[in-house]
């Protein structure tokens, strides 16, 4: 009996270790967002979060029913002035780029997202020397309520979103 319990413990431990730092493949037709704060000052970071929340909320309404890359890209492009207006409610010192931009590696909920150049919306606030926020706008992974899902449920939901557009 002790051998069986030990063997089960060993198997579960190995499975948990294998699932750590797994890499989730975001399709090449995904569109990301990155917002870089002016600095790591509390006020600058708070500004970044407020802008991020407003832009994500706005774009979720625009992208929630979109199921293909070209339509998503066109929708974002057609709403760049609206996105600029959201930012300008908080600061006039920013730059915005929509196109192919570099993203560093990120780990979120035990999943690694690889670094590289991706189709994306990048917003630099001020000097853009602070911590950044980044996520996937399309499919709408950014719109997932972070408090709502544990790691496993998050992975399943993200895979479901990705399968929907493939």
- Greater pLDDT, 148 or 35: 35
Burial (CB count <10 Å: 0-12, 13-18, 19+), residue 101: middle
- Is the sign of the CA dihedral 136, 140, 144, 149 positive or negative? negative
Domains of the chain, residue spans: 27-165
Model pLDDT, residue 10: 45
* Spatial distance between the Cα atoms of 76 and 26, rounded to a whole number of angstroms: 19
Give the residue carrying structure tokens 């006020």.
43
> Do 30 and 140 contact (CB within 8 A), yes or no?
no
Please compute Rg for the chain using Cα positions: 19
What phi and psi values does residue 80 have, to the nearest 5 degrees? -60, -40
Point out the least confidently predicted range of 19-33, 45-59, 95-109, 110-124: 19-33
* Spatial distance between the Cα atoms of 60 and 66, rounded to a whole number of angstroms: 10
Q: 123-157 pLDDT, tens per residue? A: 999 999 999 998 888 887 776 544 455 555 555 55
Strands (E), 13-152: 22-23, 31-36, 94-103, 106-108, 111-113, 116-125, 132-138
């Amino acid at each position: 009996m002790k051998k069986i319990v030990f063997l089960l413990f060993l198997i579960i431990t190995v499975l948990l270790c294998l699932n750590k730092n797994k890499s989730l493949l975001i399709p090449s037709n995904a569109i990301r967002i990155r917002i870089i704060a002016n600095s790591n000052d509390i006020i600058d970071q708070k500004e970044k979060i407020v802008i991020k929340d407003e832009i994500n909320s706005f774009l979720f309404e625009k992208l929630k029913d979109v199921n293909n890359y070209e339509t998503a890209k066109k929708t974002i492009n057609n709403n760049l002035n609206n996105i600029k207006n959201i930012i300008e409610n908080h600061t006039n010192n920013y730059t915005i780029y929509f196109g192919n931009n570099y993203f560093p590696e990120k780990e979120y909920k035990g999943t690694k997202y690889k670094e590289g150049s991706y189709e994306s919306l990048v917003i630099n606030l001020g000097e853009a020397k602070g911590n950044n926020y980044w996520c996937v706008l399309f499919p709408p992974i950014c719109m997932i309520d972070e408090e709502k899902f544990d790691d496993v449920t998050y992975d399943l939901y993200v895979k479901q979103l990705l399968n929907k557009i493939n």
